[in-house]
Amino acid sequence: MDRPTMIKKISEYEWDLRSQGLTFAPELAEAIGWRIEEMPSPLTMDFLSERIYVEDYPNVRDVHLALLTGELTRYEITYRIRTKDGGFKWFQELCDQVTLDASNKPIIANGRLYDLTEWYATYFTDGDEWETSSEDALTHCLSRNAIIERLNAVVEHAERDVRFLTIARIAIPNFLEINREEGYATGDHVLKRVVDLIKEHMDDSMFLGRLDAASFLLIFPGMPNTLANNVCKKIENALLAYDYKTKGIPRFNYSIMEYLGESPTEILTHLGSSADYFTT
């Protein structure tokens, strides 16, 4: 398989933020199993929003609300959409142009949608191996499935033993852009170096796992927020100082929270908030 073709631009879109009207190419409808004539008319953003995978919806909602209120003027977000036959596909949405009215209120958003499904299936080895293996095949930290299992366990221990627990998510917001512009070998190199640099600041009590294509979960059992935040700052400085030999400079941010009785699902939702997206 020719890897550079696996991320496919399938449609440009225009979203009228006043009426919620949505216009996109028939290829997007076909990608999720519909014919354009089967869709409601007029078509609104609700048609897609209602089909966003339940675990991904909070992130999408937060980003779209930030756009509607003027807090964001561009964004990149990755999510799954349910197909007509009940499956799902991965998409990346890039909003890169917002039209403002005379009072600087956003009224029109223009962007692009990319189909990442084929890329995800191949990038994480074959099929769903990335979901079931205990180790991420590329970076050799814990896999998504394994780090979520670990999160469940440490939350249970923190609740039972009344111990400190802090969790952080470290993200590379422009990772897919680097993949598209510079190729998969460069993207792989960035991810491997990121994990190496994070591990240099870890001790044996901490856990690191790859949460998705472009972010990692770092768990600090027994550590309060202030100390864990100091570690994250050192990691961020190391990540920013490293020369990745890329044309585009990888960007990084992290979100962090101290456990105060939340469920693992609530923790992941909080760490995946719209604060992960750049506003410039």
70-74, 184-188, 206-210: range with highest mean pLDDT: 206-210
Last residue within a domain, chosen from 121, 151, 180: 121
Give the model's pLDDT for residue 123.
54
Name the pLDDT band for 280 (thresholds 50, 70, 90). Answer: very low
Domain of 51, CATH number, reads 3.30.450.20
Query: Residue 216 is encoded by which pair of tokens?
Result: 């990692």
Higher per-residue confidence, 98 vs 116 = 98
Main-chain dihedrals φ then ψ at residue 8, nearest 5 degrees: -115, 125
Same domain, 248 and 134: yes
Q: Look up the domain containing 91 and give its range.
A: 3-121
Give the model's pLDDT for residue 6.
59
Same domain, 217 and 183: yes
Dihedral angle sign, alpha carbons of residues 154, 263, 55, 97 = negative
Which residue bears the tokens 């216009």?
23
Listed residue (253, 128, 268) closest to 209, CA to CA: 268
Q: Check pLDDT > 90 for residue 169.
A: yes
Which residue bears the tokens 């770092």?
218
Last residue within a domain, chosen from 121, 156, 190: 121
**How many CB atoms within 10 Å of residue 225?**
19
Domain of 223, CATH number, reads 3.30.70.270
Query: Residue 259 is encoded by which pair of tokens?
Result: 């456990």
Last residue within a domain, chosen from 101, 121, 141: 121
Same domain, 107 and 32: yes
- Evaluate whether 33 touches 83 at the Cβ level (below 8 Å): yes
Give the model's pLDDT for residue 145.
83
Same domain, 220 and 94: no
DSSP string for 165-180: EEEEEEE-TTHHHHHH
Could you report the per-residue pLDDT of 19-31, keeping only the tens digit for each? 999 998 888 888 8
Higher per-residue confidence, 176 vs 245 = 245
